[in-house]
Amino acid sequence: MNQHLINYLSEFVTSERLDLFERTLAQRTRYLTIALEDIYQPQNASAVLRTVDCFGLQDAYIIENNNKFEVDREVAMGATKWLNLKKFNKKENNTQEAIKYLRKKGYRIVATTPHEGDINLEDFDLSKGKTALFFGTELTGISDIVKNEADEFLKIPMYGFTESFNISVSAAIILHHLTHQLRYHTDLDWHLTPQEQAEIKLSWLRRSIKTSALIEEQYKLKLKEGL
């Protein structure tokens, strides 16, 4: 990572913005992440991404099998600008590809749905390792592939007549609880590494500066000329 480039681009944003970057990066995590499978309502998709940003998760994984994932910018309130989004939409079975990818990165696959042997949210054990929370489509929930591949099942206890929450509400409840636990868990190293922080800071700087590409070209030219 080119720390000199980060320092150079930092000159083109306010000190207040840089301070905000540093404070936010100190609270960002990849210990928890989410995977959204076939979400088709833009308002729900956008509300979930806004929640992901608010609770300090850096990544979201988007699975498109039958439905295209679309963002409602008014609902998202710019959240996508600060997140790393990875889409799985090139294969015949994108869900399987996403699970394989996340397992390779060390995540346990956790399906957010009632199931035999499921775990109540309050009893979920974060210390067992990095967690990828899978949320399914609005009508039918997660697919059978996720159910068959899941390492664990997580549910939110409910006491009314309705069987489930809206997906954006479910995500907000689960992430509020788990990120609160995470930040008070003294035995877990959930922070981003210095390398990860540098990479994300550079991407945020590029997104914050309208002419960042031109400024980088000028920077490279200066280096070439030895200035």
Interval 127-147: pLDDT, tens: 999 999 999 887 778 899 999
- 35 sits in which H/E element: strand 32-37
Q: What average pLDDT does range 29-58 have in this prediction?
A: 92
- Window from 3-12, 47-56, 157-166 with minimum mean pLDDT: 157-166
Residues contacting residue 196 through CB under 8 Å, at least 6 positions apart: 30, 58
Q: What one-letter code names the amino acid at 35?
A: A
The C-alpha atoms of residue 201 and residue 21 are separated, in whole angstroms, by 7
The C-alpha atoms of residue 212 and residue 202 are separated, in whole angstroms, by 10
Which phi and psi (to 5°) does residue 154 adopt? -120, 135
Q: What average pLDDT does range 146-174 have in this prediction?
A: 91
Distances (CA, A) of 116 to 25, 122, 124, 148: 38, 17, 15, 12
pLDDT bin (cut points 50, 70, 90) of residue 42 is confident
The pTM of this model reads 0.91
Count the neighbouring beta carbons within 10 Å of the beta carbon of residue 6. 14
Q: What is the per-residue pLDDT for 75?
A: 59
Binding residue positions: 112, 156
Average pLDDT, the chain: 90
Tokens standing for 212?
A: 């960042």
Query: Is residue 158 classed as helix, strand or coil in its secondary structure?
Result: coil
Binding residue positions for S-adenosyl-L-methionine: 112, 156
State the number of CA atoms in the 13 A half-sphere of 167 facing the CB.
29
Q: Domains in the chain, please, with CATH?
A: 29-190 (3.40.1280.10)
Assess whether pLDDT exceeds 80 at residue 1. no
